[in-house]
Amino acid sequence: MVKFWIIVVGLLGAAGVSIGAYEAHGLKKLLTARYEAALGSEAMLPASHRLYRESAEQDDIEGLSPAEIDGQIQYHLDNTASAVEYQLFHTLAMLSIAILLLHTPTARKTLNAAASLMLLGVLGFSGGMYLVVFDLAPSLHWIIPFGGVLMIVGWVVLAAAGSLVAGAPPESK
């Protein structure tokens, strides 16, 4: 399982940094294009440049003021930053668990359970946020809190794994 967790950690880390970079350098343009109609702009991005499906359920933007639209855009940017942050923190936690698996045979099942819960939590919490922000499946917003709960449970299970650790490794000379 160590190999599996290291591969998962590498992929989650790469995805987290990539989405974080997009959030910093391109997401505002995407979100602005989504709200352009409400702002009264006629210049929409061509469909080939959009990252969201044109037929996707859009935010209810009718009647919003430009300040409210700016607030919605900032809300999505903040959610993306939170999703990336939680994803990367849990990626590091899973890497730590993979390292612990090499040295703690007495807690392997519990450590694997903790990492599994964290992975499911990242997929639910961060993945759910991405689905909503990028307008890929906004109706799946309900998975976000479940992902958060799975992350918390993963940390609790990790703490429980600590009680199964046999003791300090022998000192090398």
Amino acid at 144: I
Asked whether residue 49 carries a pLDDT value surpassing 50, the answer given is no
Whole-angstrom CA distances from 45 to 49, 73, 84 are 6, 17, 26
Residue 64 CB coordination number (10 Å): 16
Confidence bin at 71 (pLDDT 50/70/90): confident
pLDDT recorded at residue 21: 87
Burial classification of residue 80, based on how many CB atoms lie within 10 Å of its CB (0-12 exposed, 13-18 middle, 19 or more buried): buried
Question: How far apart, in whole angstroms, are the C-alpha atoms of residue 71 and residue 74?
Answer: 5
Q: Express each pLDDT in 5-33 by its tens digit.
A: 888 998 999 999 999 888 888 898 888 88
Q: Express each pLDDT in 105-139 by its tens digit.
A: 889 999 999 999 999 999 999 999 999 998 899 89
Asked whether residue 46 carries a pLDDT value surpassing 60, the answer given is no
Asked whether residue 56 carries a pLDDT value surpassing 60, the answer given is no
Q: In the chain, pLDDT over 70 holds for what percent of residues?
A: 79
Tokens for 65, please give them: 């003021």
For the chain, the 3-state helix, strand and coil shares in percent, each to the nearest 5, are: 75, 0, 25
The model carries a pTM of 0.78
Q: In the chain, pLDDT over 90 holds for what percent of residues?
A: 47
